Chains A and B, each alone.
With several copies, the nearest count.
Chain A
Amino acid sequence: MAQVTFEEISASDFFYRNRDIAGFTNPTRAIFAAVRELVENSLDAAESLKIPPEIYVRLSFEGEASKETQIYKLRVEDNGIGVPPRHIPSAFGQVLFGSKYKLKQQRGTFGLGGKMAILYGQITTHQPATIISSTGMSKIYMYKLLIDIQRNRPIILDRKVFLNKEGWRGTIVEFSLEGDYLRAMPKILEYFKQTAMVNPYANLTFVDPKGRLYKFIRATTVMPDPPKETLPHPYGVDVELLQRLIQITPYKNMLEFLKNHFHRVGEITATKFLEFSGISPSKNPKRLSHEEIVRLMHMLKKFKEFLPPDASCLSPLGEELLKTGVLKELKPEFVAVHQRKPATYAGHPFIVEVAIAYGGEIPQRGGFLIYRFANRIPLLYDEASDVSVKVINAMNWRRYKVSPDMPIAIVVHICSTKVPYKTVGKEFIADRPEVRREIANGLREVARQIQRFLTRREHVDRERKRLGVFSKYLPKIAHFSAKLAGKEKPPDIEKLLRSVKRFGAEGV
């Protein structure tokens, strides 16, 4: 008879066994994913302090691994907030541990990417990772770490403390991994270019394994406001979350409970809601039965009068910065940008920003150039499945005098406390009706702007041509009619030509 054995595995072990789903599918994707995950952590680390990021990335060749893959050392330095020394081992050596589990917008929503990169490096090279960090205080800490995959715990191989004489602040991560840089190169370079576009206040430096230096210089030091942590919005709660809030709440009645634990719920809204749902304001939330909790959740979703979430927990780029970034990296003749008001899907707030750029150095390729971003991360793979691409393809561009054979680039940026990615590898965004609608409305707005630009340009051209037409044809009409009528010389047309100039606008 068959015997089935049961066992528990650690979260590290789960991802070790299933690394495909986090984007570490093959040596090409892996090296791209590693660079990206670490750069994003560094950007977050600098932005949370509102410091213009300085990020230095170096990939260096270490040796051949197989016929097609090599061992590289990856080093990423930033000037970010730094990691407090006691958290360094867990932050870099324990899966599902970190600073990214709060309700605010951050790049690495899954809190997994950086550690997956280190885990992948360890699996393929068995070398420890080196982490150097300082929060800007008197000391700099250095750790050499391996991950104990079966137990999901860091193994500290070495730990050093240095005096921080120059007041350096930031984090350096260095580890080895197997990869195929040659194949990954185009995507990595594209990644830096696009990252520079939506982070125009960042300096990015990349030294590749051949020693080539790529530098993306900031065009501004203005930075968007960093996102703030926020309370959950009533439309987004589920039973589990309600239960957790009830467990921790110090408030003894429903009115206070609602006012203090939910986003944009004040005295008036809370009172109205309780009336709507027939719950006594004085009821102690800890006394709610399971059935009542379930009902509460449904009522919260049904109530129409909650205010939409505000954007304080989000950190969109803003129209100015988006414009700066697009002008800097694409050098177009014209650009229109638009930021939508905050919206929600399933209770998660999000903001869509779009830009459309025309002419200049944008190539004409028989199709739009599409740049997709989520929380300031460029999305480079699986374009066809992305909701933005679907919306762009479905739009009636001809209404706006725009056609795919014009030199046009379209940028769509979605920021959210929870971007609806379809995969852990953060490759494309799921097709949610709310998101789709916001993107479509944003695109319509910039499409109208580019239409005005195109129309205006056309109009100036047309006026110039108009006068030319009269000066060309009136003399001919005079000449031909005279010959036809058997007259010796054509009639005088000066008066007519003058009147055309005076009443310049008619007939246009």
Chain B
Amino acid sequence: MEPKEYRSSIMERRKEVLASLGNLGAKIYEQIDRGFFPSIEMPSRSTENIYYDPKFRQYILGDKRVKRSARNIRHLKPFAQLVWTALFSYELTSQRKTSTLRDVYYSAQAYEMTFKDQQESNNIITDLETVLGFSREDFNIFPEERSAVFGDLTISYTVPGYEGKTLNLTSHPDGVMIGPALTSADFVETSADKVIAIEKGGLFTRFIEENVHKKFNAILVLTAGQAPRATRHFIGRLNRELRLPVYVFTDGDPWGMHIAMVIISGSANAAHLRDLTTPDAKWSGVWATDIVNYKLPTDPLDEIDMKRLYELQKDPRYKEDPLWQREIKTFMKIKRKAEQEAFSRYGLTYIVDEYLPAKLEETK
């Protein structure tokens, strides 16, 4: 562990973000001042420009670039929105305040920059991410989703009022919320030797109650469905900074499988960003083959499930490891799915006593 280095890195990053935002403003100012219509170039995020990169083991953007020019009537409004969003982000970051996506949408009205809807405002924020290469959490903009963590990890806050304060993440047995404060905290110390990410809240609580963190020396992370970006970033940091292997447990269906995949290789939507992936993380279950081997209670896969399976089968991320294709084929064959809670049919502790150790061993 090298806590010193990482503490400073969090502060350094904030400075970089501010400089980058300021430069964007300066560049536009200059173009106008010299009598040109200002324009901004950025990599295209259209589907044809998204490639799977086996080296990074995630989607990345290709060489195609788009130009947003204030000369073009169709670009004019989004261009203005982008500059405003940059300004708003600058103020947030420099004042060390956070904001939700919803706040951004409303705050724009003070500047007569009304967005048509939340979607439009979210798109512009993604544009800003793409232009500058930082993620919205770097601009202190967070979505509302909340996930949680539990285990022997001591962190040190960097948020105002808590600078330097530490907290051990076992201190609250309901789990510690992953919010802006935790995301921006530095890691101080841990005795854990692995990370277990869990899709469902019920199982997260069960694991805490059954002392999985102690019995398996693990930091438990609740993704609460598809993991929010901040949580993915947090898991990535646990993996990279603390060198902890990551095991992901999800429901046994195409959607659960994909929750694991997004933690591992990221999503196409975030092809313009790095550091959100954990390429070495493992999907440890519930696999389709587990459904068969453990004779779990199941529901039939419906049409939408099957359609999703066919999509995933063709997805380059699913071609990396033969495990994925095998499980997809098994799902297609058995046409059934099972939830994590399905193990309750063997009693509440079966999943911890039997299933978990077996799967951790199997996917080591």
Taking beta carbons and an 8 Å cutoff, which residues of A are in contact with B?
Answer: 466, 469-470, 473-474, 476-478, 480-487, 491-493, 495-496, 506-508
Q: In chain B, what residue has the closest Cβ to A487?
A: B29
A480 touches B73 (CB 8 A): no
Min distance, Cβ A268 to any Cβ of chain B, angstroms:
60
A491 touches B80 (CB 8 A): no
Among candidates A470, A485, A492, A493, residue contacting B25 with C-beta atoms closer than 8 Å? A485
Question: Which one of B33-41, B205-213, B226-234 is at the A interface?
Answer: B33-41
Question: Which one of B84-92, B139-147, B150-158 is at the A interface?
Answer: B84-92
B-side contacts of A487, CB under 8 Å: 29
A480 touches B87 (CB 8 A): yes
Among candidates A469, A477, A485, A496, residue contacting B35 with C-beta atoms closer than 8 Å? A496
A484 touches B76 (CB 8 A): no
A-side contacts of B80, CB under 8 Å: 473, 476-477, 480
B-side contacts of A482, CB under 8 Å: 25, 29
A164 to B136 CA separation, bound complex (whole angstroms): 98
List 15 additional contacts besides A466-B73, A469-B77, A495-B35; criterion CB under 8 Å. Answer: A473-B70, A473-B76, A477-B38, A478-B32, A481-B26, A481-B83, A482-B29, A483-B25, A484-B22, A487-B29, A491-B33, A492-B32, A496-B35, A496-B70, A507-B72
A474 to B77 CA separation, bound complex (whole angstroms): 9
B32 touches A496 (CB 8 A): yes
- What are 13 A-B contacts defined by CB distance under 8 Å? A469-B73, A477-B28, A477-B70, A477-B79, A482-B29, A484-B28, A484-B90, A485-B25, A486-B25, A491-B33, A506-B71, A507-B71, A507-B72
A121 to B59 CA separation, bound complex (whole angstroms): 73
B73 touches A481 (CB 8 A): no
Which chain B residues numbered 240 to 258 have a C-beta less than 8 Å away from chain A?
none
Q: In chain A, what residue has the closest Cβ to B69?
A: A507
Among candidates A473, A480, A493, residue contacting B86 with C-beta atoms closer than 8 Å? A480
B73 touches A484 (CB 8 A): no
Min distance, Cβ B189 to any Cβ of chain A, angstroms:
40
B25 touches A474 (CB 8 A): no
Q: In chain A, what residue has the closest Cβ to B38?
A: A477
A343 to B73 CA separation, bound complex (whole angstroms): 49
Contact of B111 with A by CB under 8 A: yes
Shortest 4 CB-CB distances between A and B: which pairs?
Answer: A484-B25, A485-B25, A481-B28, A507-B73
A473 to B82 CA separation, bound complex (whole angstroms): 12
Q: In chain A, what residue has the closest Cβ to B84?
A: A480
Min distance, Cβ B28 to any Cβ of chain A, angstroms:
4
A473 touches B32 (CB 8 A): no
Contact of B177 with A by CB under 8 A: no
A493 to B80 CA separation, bound complex (whole angstroms): 14
Q: In chain A, what residue has the closest Cβ to B23?
A: A485
A-side contacts of B33, CB under 8 Å: 491-492
Min distance, Cβ B257 to any Cβ of chain A, angstroms:
35
B-side contacts of A492, CB under 8 Å: 32-33
A253 to B12 CA separation, bound complex (whole angstroms): 108
Taking beta carbons and an 8 Å cutoff, which residues of B are in contact with A?
Answer: 21-22, 24-26, 28-29, 32-33, 35, 37-38, 70-74, 76-77, 79-80, 83-84, 86-87, 90, 111-113
A484 to B32 CA separation, bound complex (whole angstroms): 14
B-side contacts of A506, CB under 8 Å: 71
Knowing A476-B111, A480-B86, A491-B29, the reply to whether A469 touches B76 (Cβ < 8 A) is yes
Among candidates B29, B71, B72, B113, residue contacting A481 with C-beta atoms closer than 8 Å? B29
Question: Counting chain B CB atoms within 10 Å of each CB, which of A473, A482, A484, A485 scores highest?
Answer: A484
Among candidates A466, A473, A486, A493, residue contacting B22 with C-beta atoms closer than 8 Å? A486
A491 touches B22 (CB 8 A): no
B-side contacts of A469, CB under 8 Å: 73, 76-77
A-side contacts of B79, CB under 8 Å: 473, 477
A364 to B133 CA separation, bound complex (whole angstroms): 51
Q: In chain B, what residue has the closest Cβ to A495?
A: B35
A-side contacts of B70, CB under 8 Å: 473-474, 477, 496
Question: Counting chain A CB atoms within 10 Å of each CB, which of B24, B33, B74, B86 scores highest?
Answer: B33
A466 to B72 CA separation, bound complex (whole angstroms): 10
Min distance, Cβ B30 to any Cβ of chain A, angstroms:
8
A-side contacts of B38, CB under 8 Å: 477, 481
A487 to B28 CA separation, bound complex (whole angstroms): 12
B-side contacts of A508, CB under 8 Å: 73
A365 to B271 CA separation, bound complex (whole angstroms): 48
Q: In chain B, what residue has the closest Cβ to A493?
A: B32
A347 to B22 CA separation, bound complex (whole angstroms): 80
B-side contacts of A466, CB under 8 Å: 73
Among candidates A484, A486, A491, residue contacting B83 with C-beta atoms closer than 8 Å? A484
Among candidates A476, A484, A507, residue contacting B24 with C-beta atoms closer than 8 Å? A484
B22 touches A480 (CB 8 A): no
B37 touches A476 (CB 8 A): no
A476 to B113 CA separation, bound complex (whole angstroms): 9
B22 touches A470 (CB 8 A): no
Q: In chain A, what residue has the closest Cβ to B33?
A: A491
A247 to B25 CA separation, bound complex (whole angstroms): 97
Min distance, Cβ B261 to any Cβ of chain A, angstroms:
38
A480 to B35 CA separation, bound complex (whole angstroms): 17
Min distance, Cβ B235 to any Cβ of chain A, angstroms:
33
A481 touches B74 (CB 8 A): no
Question: Counting chain A CB atoms within 10 Å of each CB, which of B74, B83, B87 scores highest?
Answer: B83
A477 to B72 CA separation, bound complex (whole angstroms): 14
Question: Counting chain A CB atoms within 10 Å of each CB, which of B21, B80, B111, B112 scores highest?
Answer: B80
Knowing A469-B77, A476-B84, A476-B113, the reply to whether A481 touches B32 (Cβ < 8 A) is yes
